[in-house]
């Protein structure tokens, strides 16, 4: 078992205080957006034995177990994070596995450098993900019914948005959503900037259901993603609630602290709220335009006290333990690799006491018990 030293990524949208508060450290004044736990080559966790990705590469069966290596190859199949949003993240979607493989192969064949700003596919993997709130958490996820989006947009009273309102009343619904998103992302930038300015003034005046979109606009004052976000559900998670995001589901996080787990991929297709490259044709190929309610999850308790967030994804499984003082030890021995993260109290994993924000990597098959009081998240591979 290895205590992890993790990299905190300073993305501009990160909170300056949330991760320091979790870790009990002084804020630096700079944004601290994501703390990565895992073996992703972009920022692998470090241990006393060396970087985690190098430990796994040296003996994948020992670290990951035969079952994991047989299913996913000699790599940790998930990436675990603490995410702290202090400003809106880009509006984005992720590809499914077939789309990622074909997209990556096409860009490799075209000779596009992996770090090129217009490169879309960084790897050949999909990126289903789950975000679980540690504090009240806001975001946007999944398409509303087009008629509901039309009512929200129409209430702004902006003349240049009326054609979109009319389109949203058309049928079938999927085609209506596709046509509106396409029109928004391909509109003249100057006209878009004027429309967003008018919409922002109206949203500020109306408040209520329009307030989250006004907040977006103040961060991205001329971005078509402000109006595109109005096609999506606004979601508020309470601590302990989670949101599952499958392939093709548009989403953006707005504010809050959470733990996030995903397949070990960096494939993101952006559709707004960003100065970065937006590949509109590829985006429209990936987005799933079916309206659906957000997949908000609450953990299901087991007799052992483990509270599991059930998802259809094989690469990861997220659960938590909320342990009271004097609780009996919990055996966490498993045939798959695990990362344990403490977020409250001072529980002990094996012989290692964990303060909030501290984590450990447990190789497959290693015997381990969880003791002491506190809250621990457990990231592992689905059975």
Catalytic residue, chosen from 144, 215, 270, 320, is 270
CA–CA separation, 334 vs 233, rounded Å? 38
CA–CA separation, 16 vs 25, rounded Å? 11
| C-beta of residue 38 within 8 angstroms of C-beta of residue 316 | no
| C-beta of residue 185 within 8 angstroms of C-beta of residue 224 | yes
| C-beta of residue 319 within 8 angstroms of C-beta of residue 377 | yes
Cα–Cα nearest to 149, from 172, 173, 119: 173
Centre a 10 Å sphere on the Cβ of residue 221 and count the other Cβ atoms it contains.
12
CA–CA separation, 198 vs 161, rounded Å? 10
- Catalytic, 119? Answer no
CA–CA separation, 145 vs 296, rounded Å? 17
DSSP for 291-310, written as a single string: ----EEE-PEE-TTS-EEE-
Residues acting as catalytic residues: 270
């Amino acid at each position: 078992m290895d205590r992890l030293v993790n990299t905190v990524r300073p993305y501009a949208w990160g909170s300056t205080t949330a991760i320091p508060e979790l870790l009990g450290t002084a804020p630096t004044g700079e944004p601290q957006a994501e703390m990565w736990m895992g073996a992703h080559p972009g920022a692998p966790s470090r241990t006393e034995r060396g970087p985690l990705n190098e430990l796994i590469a040296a003996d994948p069966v020992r670290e990951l177990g035969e079952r994991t290596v047989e299913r996913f190859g000699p790599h940790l199949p998930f990436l675990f994070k603490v995410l702290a949003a202090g400003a809106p993240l880009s509006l984005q979607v992720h590809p499914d596995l077939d789309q990622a493989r074909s997209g990556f192969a096409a860009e490799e064949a075209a000779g596009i450098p992996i770090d090129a700003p217009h490169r879309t596919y960084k790897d050949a993997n999909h990126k289903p993900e789950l975000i679980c709130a540690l504090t009240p958490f806001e975001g946007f996820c999944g398409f509303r019914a087009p008629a509901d989006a039309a009512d929200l947009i129409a209430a702004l009273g902006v003349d240049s948005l009326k054609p979109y309102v009319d389109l949203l009343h058309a049928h079938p619904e999927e085609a209506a959503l596709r046509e509106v998103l396409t029109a928004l992302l391909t509109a003249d930038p100057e006209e878009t900037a004027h429309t967003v300015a008018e919409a922002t003034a109206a949203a500020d005046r109306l408040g209520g259901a329009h307030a989250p979109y006004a907040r977006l606009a103040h961060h991205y004052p001329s971005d078509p993603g402000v109006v595109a976000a109005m096609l999506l559900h606004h979601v508020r998670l309470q601590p302990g609630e989670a949101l599952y995001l499958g392939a093709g589901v548009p989403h953006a996080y707005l504010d809050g602290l959470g733990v996030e787990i995903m397949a070990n991929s960096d494939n993101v297709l952006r559709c707004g709220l960003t100065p970065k490259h937006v590949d509109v044709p590829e985006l429209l190929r990936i987005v799933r335009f079916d309206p659906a309610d957000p997949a908000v999850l609450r953990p299901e308790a087991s007799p052992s006290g483990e509270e599991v967030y059930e998802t259809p994804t094989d690469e990861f499984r997220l659960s938590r333990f909320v342990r009271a003082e004097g609780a009996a030890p919990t055996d966490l021995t498993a045939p798959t690799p695990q990362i344990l993260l403490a977020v409250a109290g001072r529980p002990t994993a094996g012989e290692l006491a964990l303060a909030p924000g501290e984590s450990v990597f447990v190789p497959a098959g290693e015997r381990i018990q969880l003791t002491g009081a506190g809250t621990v998240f457990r990231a592992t591979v689905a059975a």
